[in-house]
Structure 1
Amino acid sequence: MAGPTTDASIQVDATQDAAHQGGNYRFALFALTSLFFMWGFLTCLNDILIPYLKNMFELNYTQAMLVQFCFFGAYFIVSIPAGNLVGKIGYQKGIITGLVIACVGCLLFYPSASFASYNMFLFAFFVLASGITILQVSANPYVSALGPAETASSRLTMTQAFNSLGTTVAPFFGSWLILSTIEHPDSVTELDQAISSLSAVEQASTVQVPYLILAAALFMLAILFLFLKLPLLGKKDTSANLQPISGSAWRFPHLTLGAVGIFVYVGAEVGIGSFLINFLTQDEIGGLTESQAANYIAYYFGGAMVGRFIGALVMQKVKAGKVLAFNAVCACLLVATAMFSAGTTAMWALLLVGLCNSIMFPTIFSLALQDLKQHTSQGSGILCLAIVGGAIVPLLQGMLADSLGIQLAFVLPLICYGFICYYGLIGCDAKRPSTSV
């Protein structure tokens, strides 16, 4: 979900640049694409683990949402240090570092499950997300650099599509290896009883095996990138006498409103995804078991993948702000339907919100960066920090679910999409400063 980053002081060796512009880096791009798939996959697995951990530790919704709070809180805490680190060691070493840290995060799930400690699980989520943050800071601009500048957008679109593919495939993996191993009941109540009857060893192995597999995959990717011969890009040029940039990106109201838009969008998307399984297992909604409900998450994220390609075509003919507002209005109507109806109507209404989500992040990101000129780098950093909405909004939604019930708690994403509609219609065209400082 993180957008591209730019920095005027990034050093690109002219000889290497000419070489990689004309060279064949298909295998390198394929390897980078696997990174986008992996972090989409790992992020989506949170939605599978939340109901499992909620049952295992007998948590309320607020406590269960601490998973997303720790995971997306890492984006806010680690983004700036990650940018500084990558500026010193370059994109390739940044990717290797991110993969190793993410691997360590996956390995931490083993002792967390062995000791049956929720606090250890939360720490593991934070470490895992820290590695993913470094990956995003490194991989997004690296994809842009590996080829001609005029085709950078198409390369990023392709890799982002594989990120969506990861979020689509992950629910089936989680349902098969995590939820299905504990589940043979006919109701949610029987499922809770089945989980509580498992021994500590059985509960631990259910989580340990999938994350050991993922740790091995991340480690192999790290080894692959260690030996790949790629352009040495991404280091900041500290030798050049760069002119200081006066003024601040904060002076641009469309950027400030765009940061709020990123905050509420990520919060709404993560909040809905986090509650989907619990929502679909409600007797008055779908009456599904958790393993069955997990498979339906693929429709939510799969819709986002399909909608991204449709939206890209539509925005060639229609103004991006109008498309954003249209999608936000549709999302509001669907969320309201899910709140005040029941059965398959409510179930499919909420799942279809994923289709509306498709173009929101990249569209808000690009609209917010318009006309920033020399402040583009700072603006990009501000927007990336706003991803912390994925930590705050689901936690607040959990509090609402504990007090109002899970269905009415979707009023918070409803408000979020309402703001996105405003941004698409009005906020993105907010008057720019009279001067370019």
Structure 2
Amino acid sequence: MALNSQQTLQNKAISSEMSMEELSLSEMDFSEDSDQKKKLANETKNWMFPFILVTSLFFFWGFVHNLDPILIPHLRKAFSLSDLQSSLVDSAVFIAYFVMALPAGYIMRKYGYKSGILIGLILFGIGSILFVPAANSLQYIYFLGALFVIACGLTFLETAANPYVTILGPAETATKRLNFSQSFNGLAAFIAPTVVGPMILSGKNLTEAEMASMPPQELSDYLASEAASVKMPYLILGLIILAVAVIFYFTNMPDVKEEDKEGAEGASFRAALKSMKLRWGILAQFFYVGAQVCVGSFFIKMATTTAGLEEATAAKYLGFFGLTFMLGRFAGTFLMQYIHPRKLLIAYTIINIFLSLLAITGTGIIVVYTLIAMAFFMSIMFPTIFSMGIDGLGHNTKIGSSLIVMAIVGGALLPPVLGLISDITGNIQYGYTVPLTCFAVILLFAFNGHKTNKA
């Protein structure tokens, strides 16, 4: 009995000791798990506010871009321009992307994303404020100059913000995160024409005969009032942008410089262009931006000529065009949880090919609804092409980003082609063979652009 009691006490002691060890291990595991959660929480906190701040940039450049379709008919009227001449608004904007993309990429490789964003915001703000002296001059060329300065700033912002969003946060959700941020382009696309459009468009549409019959002073006053309507919206926008630049300056923005440390000497245009994904991405982005600008910039002209809408009413429909674009971005981000982005891109592109055919052959208000539907299915294209194009570039990511941003020059070169077709044929609908061709090229990218180089 004594032996049994002693054995029992020993067993209890051992059991107690084991329980303490298990408890100690359990506490250790809990402690490690807690530390890991704290670490993840801190990491999320570190990138979440910068992510929100950078996402705001998507709204701002979307806002100013979606004032261009308002400016085009406004300046066409104020300066008696042809469709080809009015399309130079787009050319002034998107040529800046081509000119400034490489300098923007170089500055960010050398000084980081934050420096690129600050330079972009300063140029954006100054260019917006330049609309005031441009309006005072009553010279079309000065408006184009102000737009060029704005677009130089946007080049820095887009070259920085698009890849920066893919880096801020988990790699596996980079495409969805970029589509989410780009969704705020769509929000701006709704607000800009709906809120600011009526401030710029006067609703006065005088024929050439009416203007010719007006006394010189009355005609001068009319043109001056038309030009002056852009002053206040762009002045306010410029001041807001400069205020945002101050916020960015005082915000701690995590930067990714490991890419350059890993292989600064290995980062080169030749190395980047070895990627088949990047080559296809550059081509696809050229045609996508060309298609988007063509459809959006001539929306009001299409609405007024094919459906007989008043200018102000057409501007409201342009707002719905932007709203649909925004909803398409959010819907696309949601669908990408279940459908691979490349497959969704294929489906959306095929739909837009059929919608382009309907825009060319349709009549009446159905053409307007067709263009609005096209906005929904264009919505995911830019961020999806962008993320597919820079996929796997490593330390060449910033170079690849610059090259894809340079491809935005499609928005400068393709709208004049549409305008020229419209001027020659006298039918704006025939010009929509340009976006039709663009979507065909994007479809080829969707089928081939995901492939890697053959060994």
TM-score when normalising by structure 1: 0.84
Alignment of structure 1 residues 140-179 onto 2, 5 Å: 140-144=162-166, 146-147=168-169, 152-179=174-201
Quote the residue 1:3 is aligned against. none
Q: Give the number of the structure whose residues are more often helix, by fraction.
A: 2
Contact 1:20/1:147 (8 A) holds in 2: no
Q: Is the 8 A contact 1:338 1:350 kept in 2?
A: yes
- Aligned partner of 1:123 in structure 2 is 145
Which residue of 367, 372, 383 maps to 1:351? Answer: 372
The structural deviation recorded for 1:369 is 3.7
Decide which moves more: 377-386 or 296-305.
Answer: 377-386
Q: 2:228 aligns with which of 180, 205, 216?
A: 205
Bigger Cα displacement from structure 2, 357-366 vs 38-47: 357-366
1:277 equivalenced with 2:300 (yes/no): yes
Residues 163, 398 of structure 2: 8 Å contact kept: no
8 Å CA contact 2:107–2:115 kept in 1: the answer is no
Structure 1's 33 and 430: CA in aligned 2 closer, same or farther, altered over 3 A?
closer
Alignment partner for residue 75 of structure 1, among 97, 102, 106? 97
Q: 2:311 aligns with which of 290, 309, 334?
A: 290
Provide the C-alpha distance between the structure 2 equivalents of 1:411 and 1:196, rounded to a whole number of angstroms: 37
* Structure 1 partner of 2:279: 256
Going from structure 1 to structure 2, the CA distance change for 1:24 and 1:314 (only over 3 Å counts) comes to closer
- 1:368-389 per-residue CA deviation (whole Å, 9 max, x = no partner) reads 3445566555433322211111
Question: How far does residue 201 in structure 1 lie from its aligned partner after superposition?
Answer: 3.6
Cα contact 1:259–1:383 (8 A) shared by 2: yes
Match for residue 216 of structure 1? 239
Structure 1 residues 275 and 200: alpha-carbon distance in aligned structure 2, compared to 1, 3 A threshold: closer
Identity %: 36
Q: 1:371 to 1:104 in 2, by over 3 A?
A: closer
One-letter amino acid of the counterpart of residue 58, structure 2: F
Contact 2:159 2:402 in 1 (8 A): no
Q: Which amino acid aligns with 1:231?
A: M
Aligned AA for 1:58? S
SS in 2 for 1:407: helix
Identify if the C-alpha distance between structure 1 residues 31 and 163 changes in structure 2 by more than 3 Å, giving closer, same or farther: same
Larger radius of gyration: 2
Aligned residues: 410
Quote the Cα distance in structure 1 between the aligned partners of 2:126 and 2:385. Answer: 33
Provide structure 2 residue ranges, at least 5 long, that are not aligned to the other structure: 1-38
Shift of 1:304: 2.2
The one-letter code sitting in structure 1 at the alignment partner of 2:83 is: Y
Shift of 1:271: 0.8
Offset at residue 417 of structure 1 (A): 0.9
- Report the residue type matching 1:323 in the other structure: L
SS of structure 2 residue aligned to 1:76: helix
SS of 1:199 mapped into structure 2: helix
Q: Which residue of 2 aligns with 1:360?
A: 381
TM-score normalized with structure 2 length: 0.81
Q: Determine if the alignment matches structure 1 residue 227 to structure 2 residue 250.
A: yes
- Asked if the contact 1:338/1:407 (under 8 Å) is kept, the reply is yes
* Residue type of the alignment partner of 2:359: A
Partner deviation per Cα, 1:68-89 (whole Å, 9 max, x = no partner)? 1110111111111112223344
Note the aligned Cα RMSD (angstroms): 3.0
Q: Does 1:432 align with 2:453?
A: yes
SS at 1:177's partner residue?
helix
What is the alpha-carbon distance in structure 1 between the residues aligned to residue 324 and residue 59 of structure 2? Answer: 16
2:445 is the counterpart of 1:423? yes
1:185-196 map, 5 Å? 189=207
Deviations 1:215-250 (A, max 9, x none): 11112212222333x136256888887453586343
1:344-398 CA distances to partner (integer Å, 9 max, x unpaired)?
A: 1122112211011012222223333445566555433322211111111111111
- Residues 1:191 and 1:253: Cα distance change in structure 2 (over 3 Å): farther
* DSSP 3-state at the match of 2:67: helix
- Is 1:332 aligned to residue 357 of structure 2? no
Q: CA deviation at 1:272?
A: 0.9
